[in-house]
Structures are given as C-alpha cells and as structure tokens.
Amino acid sequence: MRLKLTIEYAGTRYSGWQIQKNARTVQGEIDRAIREVTGVNWFELYGSGRTDAGVHALAQVAHLDIDSTIRPEQLRRQINDALPSDINILRADPVRHKFHARHDAVARSYIYQIARRRTAFGKALVWWVKDDLDADVMRQVAAGFVGMHDFRTFSDDDPEEKSTQVLVEAFDVHEDGDLLLVHIEGSHFLWKMVRRLVGVLVEAGRGALTVEAAVGLLAEDSPLPARVTAPASGLFLERVYYPGDPRDQPVQAAVVLPRFSGRPAGG
C-alpha cells in the first residue's frame, strides 16, 4: 500500500530531513521507527523535498510504499509511539500507487518567524532581531521578488547543474504581536533561498538597504545574500500543495509569544 504521510517536526536536533551517514535526520528517525514497528526491511519513504539542518516543518509530506497488513491509522499511531517527541506523523492517508510526494507537488510555502523581543520560550523557533524593523519597508522589498525570477544570487545551487529560475507566487510580512511572520509561497525553492531572502528583508527593515538595492540583488552576483543568511531556527516548511488543495489558508504563527502591554527596557 502507498500512504501519504503528513509530518510535523522541530528540526533543532536534526541534520535536516534526508537520511545521511553519521548524522541524525528526520527521515532517518521515521525510517528506524517503521522498521521497528513493522519488521519490514524494504519500503520506500520519499519526502516532498529536503529541509536543512535546524529547519522545522508544520506539514512536511512524504509517501510510504510498504507491504503491511497494519491499517493506516493503527500504523500511524504505532510509528508515533516509536518516534522521539519532536517528530509527529499527523496523518497517514491511503493514496493511489502513482502518487509521488515530490513530483506531484505543485507549490510549497514557508513561514519565517522573527521575534522583535528576547524570548525565554521560543528561542529555538524564532530569530530574535534586536534592531527595530520597518515592516512596511520589508513588505515593499518582498513584493519586488514576486514573479518568475532568477534567484541564483540567493542560493548555493549551481546554475550550471540546475535551473535557478523560481516562480514566487506570494511573499509578504505579517505582524502578530511581537512576531513578524514572513510568508512565502512558490513553485519550489532553491537551497538556502528562503533564509537569504529573509536576511535581505531584515537588512532593508533595519535601514541598511534601500528597497531598490534589495530588489536589485536579483540582477547581481553579490555576496551580500550569503552574508546575511537568516538562521535556521525561525524557518518552517508550512505546506506542500497538490492539485486541488485550497490555497487560502490564513498565515499563523508556529509559536506564540506572550503578549505584553509594553516592551521591557533592553529588549
């Protein structure tokens, strides 16, 4: 049977999604749990895409192709019992055998969480930026990246080996109390692209870049995006979209900071 797995995880303790030798990964933990629960040694577990070390997921998607008589919901519960607490399979839905978690995906979205104050609770899930940030300026910069563009300056991917053209369908900044939520949706994303875009938005928000200079990086081979790459802690794979999936879900924070009437001195 083939199952579509929807998975949430906190990536802090892992070297990304994909199985690696001598490294602890999310896929590796799920692979181990499946073997432990089913006793099956051959199966296919294929994710919709990689997430880097330290990056989280609200709804990663993978397909599991396995010969097992365990019912999907029972299998989901048993796998979860064998997983560490920071990885959780939300759903295990039977799908047609031709379904492919990566190749059938039509879009993906990410959320990046920026904290505008120091937090004792959400440090592993946000990037605390001490400087005051102008959210309106950040929105103007984000709007300049919407559309089909060559994002080679924002990635370590080699444009000689793969296309660096990406369609960004939506890119905006939302305010939620002491959080700024950067939301981006597109056809696919290059290695480190989202974190470098967020870093450039922050540089503009703190006044170190004009809107024109930030958007103009699309036409340059500049080292700046790499230098200002946002940390992995604030990045969440939000959704993976397939044909027919609704695309009008509200942007919500993955971690909620307690609200205060005033910001304490010193951040």
| 52 is annotated as an active-site residue | yes
Q: Which residues pair with 147 in a beta bridge?
A: 168
Pairing of strands 107-115, 127-128: parallel
| Active-site entry in 52, 65, 104, 134 | 52
Contact 16, 50 (CB under 8 A): yes
* Catalytic residue ranges: 52
